[in-house]
Amino acid sequence: MSTLLTPDARAVLERLAIEVPSWAYGNSGTRFKVFGTPGTPRDPFEKISDAAQVHRHTGLAPAVALHIPWDLVDDFAALKAHAETEGVALGTINSNTFQDDDYKLGSLAHADDRIRRKAIDHHLACIDIMDLTGSRDLKIWLADGSNYPGQADLRDRQDRLQDSLQRIYERLGEEQRLVLEYKFFEPAFYHTDVPDWGTSYAQVSALGERALVCLDTGHHAPGTNIEFIVMQLLRLGKLGSFDFNSRFYADDDLIVGAADPFQLFRILVEVVRGGGLEADSPVAFMLDQCHNIEDKIPGQIRSVLNVQEMAARALLLDRDALGAAQAAGDVLSANGVFMDAFQTDVRPALAEWRESRGLPADPMAAYASSGYFERIAAERVGGTQASWGA
């Protein structure tokens, strides 16, 4: 057995769990075209079955996040039972206040009390669903914002948002949490009501302990030092979850670690440093991706493996040597220690370790030869469109 992964590192990797999004398994695209794929799930039950393949071959994805109303079913107890039969659990519930005509000018920050009430009620209904599914987290991302200077009173909107969130937070059960996701623009182009981590932090801090920030790695301006935000939120005890994906331009929702593996490494170094991979860590790891042109299940398998690989490299970082170089002001040695960990190929060690735990050494190959794709392609016709690719 390779000694690259220490027993401590293996213990951390053992508990690494990455929630996968139900919408990754449906067809998605850009506003130009949605390409259909054979075997696309026709309902949330089939999405769960597909998601379960990721866990089956990697041991890394034990829960599936749902998006409401995309995954609305009559019987959530049946969906939960189906998930359990497939070997996974139902995870985070994502609300959706961005696809209804009423929300053209906003939802939880809307100036019209009727519409704001409707948006609050949607979130209360999501919490009802969480009670049935056993989900811990309610994830809120708001499209709220404006397109033109003067269109809206920015300050009033923050105050209304706080009031709305308060009403939602009050309804949460003792074991449930609210995570508020930020995004710097889109679909609003002038201002967004929760554009950055600072606004999310201010809003959730006013709610209470079980309200935390969700950091989507694709939701920052180019050049943003995301690992610094990770460090700060962990330091403040307010990092609730990650939506992992990668981006070249804006909110591209591409495979995590594909655009900038080094950035993913730097983020995971701060996660390890801030205790985000400890057994009692409050941080939930999720993917928020769409697979527009590549196969969806292998796309998700590759994604969780990328996170595992970078977590393993982050765990290799020689903290003692790094600390000594930092204390001595030895810039080049400190950077050298950091780069040594990043440049280490952990793939053979991870393959060996996987096999030692009864998992396939090569999960991509194992899925490809499992026959699952051929079966769903033959069985399923008329699969669903996942989302608008936000």
251 binds Mn ion, rule: CB under 5 A: yes
What residue ranges bind ligand PSV (CB under 6 A)? 23, 94, 141, 181, 183, 216, 243, 251, 288, 387, 390
Q: State how far the Cα of 193 lies from the Cα of 184, in Å rounded to an integer.
A: 9
Give me the least distance between CB of 150 and ligand PSV, in Å please: 26
Stretch that binds Mn ion, among 98-106, 288-296, 362-370, 379-387 (CB under 5 A): 288-296
Judged by CB under 5 A, the chain residues 132 through 151 that form the site for Mn ion are none
252 binds Mn ion, rule: CB under 5 A: no
Encoded tokens for 37: 């794929």
Give me the least distance between CB of 6 and ligand PSV, in Å please: 35
Extract long-range pairs of 165-171: CB within 8 Å, 24+ residues apart: 165/108, 165/140, 165/203, 165/204, 165/207, 165/211, 166/206, 166/207, 167/120, 168/120, 168/123, 168/124, 168/127, 168/138, 168/140, 169/207, 169/208, 169/210, 169/211, 171/123, 171/124, 171/127
243 binds Mn ion, rule: CB under 5 A: yes
Question: Which of 50, 71, 137, 288 is close enough to bind Mn ion by CB under 5 A?
Answer: 288
Residue 387: contacted member of ligand PSV, Mn ion, none (CB under 5 to 8 Å, by partner type): ligand PSV
Residue 384: contacted member of ligand PSV, Mn ion, none (CB under 5 to 8 Å, by partner type): none
Classify residue 316 by burial, with Cβ atoms within 10 Å: 0-12, 13-18, 19+. Answer: middle
* CA neighbor of 97 nearest in space, from 110, 87, 84: 110
Give me the least distance between CB of 101 and Mn ion, in Å please: 22
Give me the least distance between CB of 288 and Mn ion, in Å please: 4
Q: Are 287 and 255 in contact (CB under 8 A)?
A: no
Q: State how far the Cα of 357 lies from the Cα of 143, in Å rounded to an integer.
A: 43
Nearer residue to Mn ion within complex by CB, 50 or 251: 251
Give me the least distance between CB of 188 and ligand PSV, in Å please: 12
* CA neighbor of 347 nearest in space, from 299, 285, 287, 305: 305
Question: Which of 216, 227, 270, 309 is close enough to bind Mn ion by CB under 5 A?
Answer: 216
Encoded tokens for 70: 């995309």
Give me the least distance between CB of 105 and ligand PSV, in Å please: 18
Token pair 């939960």 is found at 80
Strand-pair category, 191-192 with 145-146: antiparallel
Nearer residue to ligand PSV within complex by CB, 68 or 304: 68
Stretch that binds Mn ion, among 5-13, 160-168, 210-218, 307-315 (CB under 5 A): 210-218
Give me the least distance between CB of 16 and ligand PSV, in Å please: 21
Q: State how far the Cα of 292 lies from the Cα of 379, in Å rounded to an integer.
A: 21
Encoded tokens for 161: 């948002």
Residue 200: contacted member of ligand PSV, Mn ion, none (CB under 5 to 8 Å, by partner type): none
**Residues of this chain that bind Mn ion (CB under 5 A):** 216, 243, 251, 288
